[in-house]
Homo-oligomer: A and B are copies of this chain.
Amino acid sequence: MTFQFASRMQHVGPSAIRELLRLGADPDVISFGGGYPDASLFPTDALSRLFRDVLEARGATALQYTVSNGIAPLRAQIAARARRDGIACDADQVLILNGGQQGLDLVAKMMLDPGDVVITEDPTFLGALVAFAPYEPRYRAVRMDDQGMDTDDLLRVLQAGPRAKFLYTVPDFQNPTGVTMSLPRRRRLLELAREFDLLVLEDTPYRALRFEGEAPPTLKSLDTDGRVIHLGSFSKLLAPGLRLGWAIAGDELIQRLGLLKLAGDTQCGTLAMEVVSRFLDGYDLDAHVERIRRTYRRKRDVMLRTIEACFPPHIAFTRPQGGMFTWLTFPAGFDAARFMAETMLPRAKLAYVPGESFFPVAGRANHARISYSTQDEDTIVRGMTLLGGMLTEALG
């Protein structure tokens, strides 16, 4: 038969990220592409004990349906951690999600009619563009620099209109650039949000992975009138295979997001929620995250040192203070996707993420995202040396 799909399906096609998830699965390719955490850091033994303990002590409850917003103890623990990070909230303002990605879907579902405007950083997280696409937004993209979203450019975008349904930002160690929004920019962003009555979606999967310096406050902690929806995730802190993240927002927003969560997939996995709740009770998540931070910091140092030593000098790269990514800027006219497809993959079996698809409006071909999280230090040195050599060969 021929299918008459909803019009939104015109905006839903195979994406670069899907191909990358495939590439990452090919063991022959050295991938600096995927946004995967380092699997050797997963607290496997602790989780193994906790799954056993939970199933022995309360298996019938942990395997049964539960409330759709997520089990109360875990919501309380997430709220307590958020309060320690300056966010005034309680358990009822927390909604447990299948990873942060589900928050992107549900917020778009709650807010967007076709043609509505969403403001993003330029570039922005590809997974957000993928999540928003079925709700058929138009984008306004705001320039970035090493202080994060350029709030002068944001003012220009807001003044030009039309009114945006929300602004999406990854303020800490942004995906894909690795850049962190400065405190003055955060304050100014919220000032503008108040002035233009704008909802803000703050996505913070990497926030706890800070290597140095002091963390600026979250947008949510600076939010005085309930206009920030804060997303977090256990994917980079514990393990993505558990599929657990959360939203924190005011009562009305959480209630509506909770209704959409119920409609969409009933609830998150009860057992996974119980196990993570016990982990937060019985183990020191901060100490665990400190181990991840130390490892990623070393990897970042090795990657940036090798890039400095081996890349042609006219290739720029960001110096992330945390998270998983650096962002390369090649000379104008250089096509990073083509270089990967025609040179790096066939000749070196090396992958990164070409930058073009991270731009919501006008893609720029001369960028790439490189992740230091998954590969070990030797492979990072080898990969960056290889990449640098071939770039020197190509760019002279």
Residues of A within 8 A of B (CB): 1-9, 12-15, 17-18, 21-22, 24-25, 34, 36-37, 39-40, 42, 44, 47-48, 51-52, 55-56, 59-68, 97-99, 101-102, 105, 109-113, 116, 127, 130-131, 133-135, 165, 197, 199, 225-227, 235, 238-243, 252-253, 256, 259-260, 262-272
Partner of A64, one of B9, B39, B63, B227: B39
Do B44 and A64 touch across chains, with their CB atoms under 8 A apart? no
26 A-B residue pairings within 8 Å (CB atoms): A5-B111, A8-B113, A14-B259, A15-B259, A18-B262, A21-B67, A22-B67, A36-B65, A42-B63, A48-B52, A51-B55, A63-B240, A65-B240, A65-B241, A105-B264, A109-B134, A127-B266, A131-B264, A133-B263, A239-B271, A241-B271, A242-B269, A243-B265, A243-B270, A265-B265, A272-B272
Q: How close is A62's CB to chain B, nearest CB, in angstroms? A: 6
Complex CA–CA separation, A31 to B110 (angstroms): 32
Complex CA–CA separation, A37 to B36 (angstroms): 36
In the bound complex, residues from chain B placing their C-beta under 8 Å from that of A6 are 109-113, 116, 135, 165
Contacts A48-B56, A68-B21; is A102 near B5 (CB within 8 Å)?
no
Q: Which residue of B lies closest to A112 (CB)?
A: B6
Partner of A3, one of B34, B64, B252, B263: B252
Sample of 4 further A-B pairs with CB below 8 A, known A6-B110, A18-B262, A98-B266: A3-B199, A15-B262, A99-B266, A241-B270
Q: Which residue of B lies closest to A4 (CB)?
A: B165
Complex CA–CA separation, A123 to B317 (angstroms): 60
Q: Which residue of B lies closest to A14 (CB)?
A: B259
Q: How close is A239's CB to chain B, nearest CB, in angstroms? A: 4
Do B34 and A259 touch across chains, with their CB atoms under 8 A apart? no
In the bound complex, residues from chain B placing their C-beta under 8 Å from that of A55 are 44, 47-48, 51
Partner of A65, one of B21, B40, B165: B21
Do B102 and A264 touch across chains, with their CB atoms under 8 A apart? yes
Do A64 and B51 touch across chains, with their CB atoms under 8 A apart? no
Most interface-central of A24, A55, A67, A253 (chain B CB within 10 A): A55
Q: Which residue of B lies closest to A238 (CB)?
A: B63
In the bound complex, residues from chain B placing their C-beta under 8 Å from that of A267 are 243
Do B266 and A269 touch across chains, with their CB atoms under 8 A apart? no
Do A63 and B39 touch across chains, with their CB atoms under 8 A apart? yes
Contacts A241-B66, A265-B98; is A5 near B110 (CB within 8 Å)?
yes
In the bound complex, residues from chain B placing their C-beta under 8 Å from that of A101 are 264-266
Contacts A199-B1, A241-B270; is A110 near B60 (CB within 8 Å)?
no
Complex CA–CA separation, A196 to B17 (angstroms): 38
Partner of A227, one of B1, B47, B67: B1
In the bound complex, residues from chain B placing their C-beta under 8 Å from that of A109 are 6, 8, 134
Partner of A271, one of B197, B242, B264: B242
The 3 A-B residue pairs whose C-beta atoms are closest, nearest first, are: A241-B270, A44-B59, A63-B239
Complex CA–CA separation, A190 to B271 (angstroms): 39
In the bound complex, residues from chain B placing their C-beta under 8 Å from that of A66 are 25, 241
In the bound complex, residues from chain B placing their C-beta under 8 Å from that of A111 are 3-6
Complex CA–CA separation, A226 to B1 (angstroms): 7
Contacts A1-B225, A131-B263; is A239 near B51 (CB within 8 Å)?
no
Do B105 and A263 touch across chains, with their CB atoms under 8 A apart? yes
